[in-house]
Amino acid sequence: MHNFGYRSGHYCVENVPVHEISESCATPFYCYSRTAIETAYDAYANAFSKHDTLICYAVKANSNQAVISILAARGSGADVVSEGELRRALLAGIPASKIVYSGVAKTVPEIEFALNNDILLFNVESEPELQQINSVAVRLGKIARIAFRINPDIDAGTHEKISTGKSENKFGIPWQAARAAYADAAKLPGIEVRGIDIHIGSQIMKLGPFEQAFERIADLVGQLRADGHTITSIDLGGGLGINYNTESDLAPTAEQYAALVLKHLGRLDCRLIFEPGRSIVGNSGVLVSQVIYVKHGSKSTFLIIDAAMNDFLRPSMYNAYHHIVGEKDSGGEDVLYDVVGPVCETGDTFARSRKLGKQEAGDLVIVEGAGAYGAVMASTYNTRRLVPEVLVEKDGFRIVRPRPDYDSIIGMDTP
Ligand SMILES: *Cc1c(COP(=O)(O)O)cnc(C)c1O
């Protein structure tokens, strides 16, 4: 987490102390570092600078318009999984020619919208979806460029809820059925086959599963070409893990990942597409929250903070570990806390028996590594207002999504 840490005893994002931000934006709020996002993107771009590559940021990791526009300005494309995300990417300035559309079940209106905007590619996940895209394209008098998402049946060794490349997962065409699927696609008038696609999971911490998948893809490209198909792009999805626990995690770097990719697929004369999400924004953001009460239970001390599971779902949904630190540098004098939110569910727990500096009501705490799958998964459960987002740019900050007022939530309903 470069760009995040203590300066003169206070926690800062770039050059801005978070306690200053909390004076203009009430807690809880997400806080992102522009420099961190740019640095993470550049690591990919530099690692692949010698190869024809398109980096399509996976918008679902963090879809704030400010975040997408930072990446658009860097030359990034986008990987989208819904019409809403496609609209976000276009509005943030990503050209349609750099947008790929993934996802297991694109609907007819979504396919129409994507075709009318002339996106680069659909990543097709099933035979029925192929037929649907073809018929919409024929009806609109257009040609849909596609790649098939292949399920390589590989265990990415990640959390079961974010593993996607095993045969029992709902994603993609089984690799054994790939040649038949391409043969069918070649017969369809509204379809132009361009390439092949995989995405085997998220938060992958070892290169081994990637290597197995790349070998399988290299074989398939050879077979498909021998069958007469033109394969000019290989989309390798996202999934590279990040270090949530800086003491124990050791994710592969973009350079190590790139070396492996190029070793297996560099010679195939294809454009390489990547869809990183978490590894661009995950360690580019934190969640800032305030201690409401310190409660002494019979077994542990609870730090009850004003952020809850509806604001940040990862700890309760995936049992995810996140560093939690106090706004004031404790200088190593730590106390054990159970850090919990105010929602009436035991799942509303951010950490158990966690060491951090002694806190009092009103103090700020920071949940680190919250830039990916944080704000995008937030809800208004408990009629709590949607958590705001702040972007720091060197010495300044701006609120890039304000907290809505109660009327805009309750007023949506019809009594
Ligand atoms: C979620 C997803 C990604 C991004 O995954 P990360 O782990 O955030 O890099 C990329 N491609 C597809 C198809 C996805 O579903």
pLDDT in tens, 17-39: 999 999 999 999 999 999 999 99
Q: If you measure from the C-alpha of residue 160 to the centroid of ligand 1, how many angstroms do you get, rounded to a whole number? A: 15
Answer yes or no: are the C-beta atoms of 15 and 394 closer than 8 Å: yes
How far, in Å, from the CA of 326 to the mean position of ligand 1?
Answer: 31
**Which ranges of 207-271 does DSSP label H, i.e. alpha helix?**
207-226, 254-265
Q: Among 290, 313, 309, 303, which residue's Cα sits nearest to residue 374?
A: 313
What is the 6 CA–ligand 1 centroid distance (Å)? 32
Q: What is the mean pLDDT of residues 234-249?
A: 96
User: What pLDDT digit, counting tens, does each position of 307-353 carry?
Assistant: 999 999 999 999 999 999 999 998 877 899 999 999 988 889 999 99
The answer to whether the beta carbons of residues 257 and 238 sit under 8 Å apart is: no
As a dihedral over the C-alpha atoms of residue 403, residue 405, residue 406, residue 407, rounded to 10 degrees, the angle is -140
* Cis? peptide before 28, omega within 30° of 0: yes
Q: Which of 82, 199, 200, 273 to mutate to test the pocket of ligand 1 (most atoms within 8 A of CB)?
A: 199
Structure tokens given for 408: 């805009």
The residue length of the chain stands at 415
Q: How far apart are CA 311 and CA 388, in angstroms?
A: 9
Is the distance from the beta carbon of residue 61 to the nearest atom of ligand 1 less than 6 Å?
A: yes
pLDDT exceeds 80 at position 64: yes
Task: Return d(Cα 263, Cα 58) in angstroms, integer.
Answer: 24
Residue 343 one-letter amino acid: V
Q: Where are the alpha helices (DSSP H) in 266-331?
A: 278-281, 314-318
Categorize the per-residue pLDDT at 163 as very low, low, confident or very high, splitting at 50, 70 and 90: confident
Give the SS3 label for residue 261. Answer: helix
Q: Residue 38 carries which DSSP code?
A: H
237 in ligand 1 pocket by Cβ < 6 Å? yes
Cα–Cα nearest to 153, from 209, 205, 204: 209
For every residue of 86-98, DSSP letters joined together read HHHHHHTT--GGG
Element (H, E) at 79: strand 77-80
Across 275-327, the runs of DSSP E, i.e. the strands, are 285-296, 301-305, 324-326
Cα angle, residue 248 at apex, residues 245 and 249 outer, rounded to 5°:
65
Nearest CA among 349, 336, 269, 248 for reference residue 299: 336
- Give the closest residue (by CA) to ligand 1 atom 3: 238
For residues 174-194, average pLDDT: 97
Stretch 251-260: mean pLDDT, rounded? 97
How wide is the angle at C-alpha 259 spanned by C-alphas 97 and 201, nearest 5°?
65
pLDDT at residue 386, as a whole number: 98
Listed range (247-251, 290-294, 343-347, 387-391) with the worst mean pLDDT: 343-347
Is 56 one of the annotated active-site residues of the chain? no
Q: In order of start, what are the domains of the chain with their CATH numbers?
A: 4-32+282-410 (2.40.37.10), 103-274 (3.20.20.10)
384-413 confidence digits (pLDDT tens): 999 999 999 999 999 999 999 999 999 999
Mutate to test the pocket of ligand 1, among 56, 71, 102 (most ligand atoms within 8 A of CB): 102
**Residue 33: which residues within 8 A CB-CB, separation 6 or more?**
3, 4, 13, 14, 284, 285, 392
Answer for the pair 280, 67: CB distance below 8 angstroms, yes or no: no
Burial of 38 (0-12, 13-18, 19+ CB in 10 A): middle
Residue 300 confidence (pLDDT) above 80: yes
Query: Looking at ligand 1, which atom is closest to the CA of residue 275?
Result: 10
Is any ligand 1 atom within 6 A of the Cβ of residue 202? yes
Question: CA-CA distance, 282 to 259, in Å (whole number)?
Answer: 22
pTM: 0.97
pLDDT over threshold 70, residue 278: yes
Task: Kindly state the DSSP code that residue 49 receives in the 8-state scheme.
Answer: T
Write out the two tokens for 78: 């986008």
- How does the average pLDDT of the chain come out, rounded? 96
Q: How far is the CA of 267 from the centre of ligand 1 (A)?
A: 25
Question: Which element (helix H / strand E) includes 367?
Answer: strand 364-367
Q: 48 pLDDT band (50/70/90 cuts)?
A: very high
Q: Which atom of ligand 1 is nearest to the CA of 276?
A: 9
Strand 349-357 versus strand 334-340 pairing type = antiparallel
Residue at token pair 């040649």 = 179
Q: Ligand 1, closest atom to CA 197?
A: 13
Give me the catalytic one of 25, 31, 270, 344.
Answer: 344
Q: Would you report the helix, strand and coil content of the chain in percent, each value rounded to 5?
A: 35, 25, 40
Q: How far is the CA of 238 from the centre of ligand 1 (A)?
A: 5
Average pLDDT over residues 2-13: 96
The pLDDT value given to residue 158? 81
Amino acid letter for position 362:
G
Give me the percent of the chain exceeding a pLDDT of 90: 92
Confirm or reject: Cβ of 324 under 6 Å from ligand 1: no
Asked if residue 1 has pLDDT above 70, the reply is: no
285 Cα: distance to centroid of ligand 1 (angstroms): 18
Mean pLDDT, range 94-114, rounded to an integer: 97
Instruction: Tell whether ligand 1 has an atom less than 6 A from the beta carbon of residue 285.
Output: no
